[in-house]
Homo-oligomer: A and B are copies of this chain.
Amino acid sequence: MQLPSPSLVVDRPALEHNIAAIGKTLVGPRLRPHVKAFKSTALARRLADAGHRTFTCATVREAEGMAAADLGDDLLIANEVVDLDQLARAAAIEAGVTLAVDSDQTIDRAASAGLRRVLIDVNVGLPRCGCAPGDAGRLADRARAAGLDVRGVMGYEGHLMMVHDRESRTRKVERAMELLLQASEAVGGDIVSAGGTGTYDTNTWANEIQAGTFVLGDTQYDTLDLPFRLALAVECTVLSINPDGWIVVNAGLKSFGMDHGNPTWPEGDVKFCSDEHTTMRCDDPSRWSIGDRTRLYPAHLDPTVAKHERMWLVDGDDVIDELAVDLRHW
């Protein structure tokens, strides 16, 4: 079978390697896989089959889809949700969800909407959401007074994912997690949730790790000293060959997440992406023919996957299965 073009392809051996590799360090619920990275219940099911049945979501839509796919044992929406329609949808998920809260208002809205379980989201250094560590205990009290079950704390050290030196990364993660553990002491509950692919093995302080990129990988994470392989590429078609030394394929800005830069082409240099094209320089354009297929590797996984309706599980050129990207949008 020839795939539609452009298509996302997932290399099965690399996928299976990645899931097995993380399982050596993070057993069962020590990993709470983050579905925002791959947005597919078919891939989430593979993680559940490997013993990781608790999941992290970024959106209500992701949690709804996971629950509908019978993967709702323990879903954490690791973001604040404040829109009333989204809170109502989250509360309506029969399997139940745990929601991140970081302020009086997010607590009050969650309680009013009928949510039952929350984590206190603590700022551990990334300038984004999360309360001040010293305010976590007060917020937990407020949440409990509002009838919410406070399961613990979370704190995402996203600013440390790309610290290349392992020793420096470990030291910085330790300092970030000191803040989270202080908050945990004030808050109570069982959960200390943090981390990501970049710190999955250096963050030994959190008791669960919210990693997702490791499943499929991208060229940015591939620069770290981690045991994961690049499993995701965009397969595309050669449209045009210029004798001056470039070729053009039919995948561009609408196929690739671009915030970390251009995709990587193992057989030459990417010059630039247009909406539906990528122009690539190669030493010997005569090696290529119009209609040839080739694969490019995205720089950032999450926004790449979110642009596509489906992925194709492949082993080399053999197509094994179609995987719906069924957790898209909001």
Binding site for B on A (CB under 8 A): 2, 4-6, 36, 58-59, 79-83, 85-86, 102-103, 105-106, 109, 123, 127-130, 158, 237-242, 244, 246, 248, 250, 253-254, 257-259, 271, 273-277, 279, 289-291, 300, 302-303, 306-309, 329-330
Least CB separation from A108: chain B residue: B290
Q: Chain B nearest CB: distance from A221 CB in Å? A: 14
B254→A303 contact, CB < 8 A:
yes
Number of this chain's copies in the complex: 2
Q: Chain B nearest CB: distance from A63 CB in Å? A: 13
B240→A303 contact, CB < 8 A:
no
A276→B239 contact, CB < 8 A:
no
19 contacts between A and B (CB under 8 A): A4-B83, A36-B276, A79-B276, A80-B250, A81-B239, A82-B239, A82-B250, A83-B250, A102-B240, A103-B241, A103-B290, A109-B291, A127-B242, A127-B246, A128-B248, A253-B302, A258-B258, A307-B307, A309-B329
A259→B253 contact, CB < 8 A:
yes
Instruction: Pick from B129, B248, B291, B329: contact of A277, CB below 8 A.
Output: B129
Chain B positions within 8 Å of A302 at CB level: 253-254, 275
- Whole-angstrom CA separation of A239 from B241 in the bound complex: 48
Chain B positions within 8 Å of A253 at CB level: 257, 259, 300, 302-303
Chain B positions within 8 Å of A248 at CB level: 128-129
Least CB separation from A252: chain B residue: B303
A128→B6 contact, CB < 8 A:
no
Least CB separation from A159: chain B residue: B272
Chain B positions within 8 Å of A86 at CB level: 5
- Whole-angstrom CA separation of A329 from B276 in the bound complex: 10
- Whole-angstrom CA separation of A105 from B123 in the bound complex: 57
- Whole-angstrom CA separation of A250 from B276 in the bound complex: 28
Chain B positions within 8 Å of A4 at CB level: 83, 85, 330
- Whole-angstrom CA separation of A242 from B125 in the bound complex: 12
With A128-B248, A306-B254: A290-B240 Cβ-Cβ less than 8 Å: no
- Whole-angstrom CA separation of A259 from B300 in the bound complex: 12
With A129-B277, A240-B103, A279-B128: A307-B306 Cβ-Cβ less than 8 Å: yes
Chain B positions within 8 Å of A277 at CB level: 79, 128-129
B239→A291 contact, CB < 8 A:
no
B240→A291 contact, CB < 8 A:
no
- Whole-angstrom CA separation of A150 from B102 in the bound complex: 63
- Whole-angstrom CA separation of A258 from B109 in the bound complex: 32
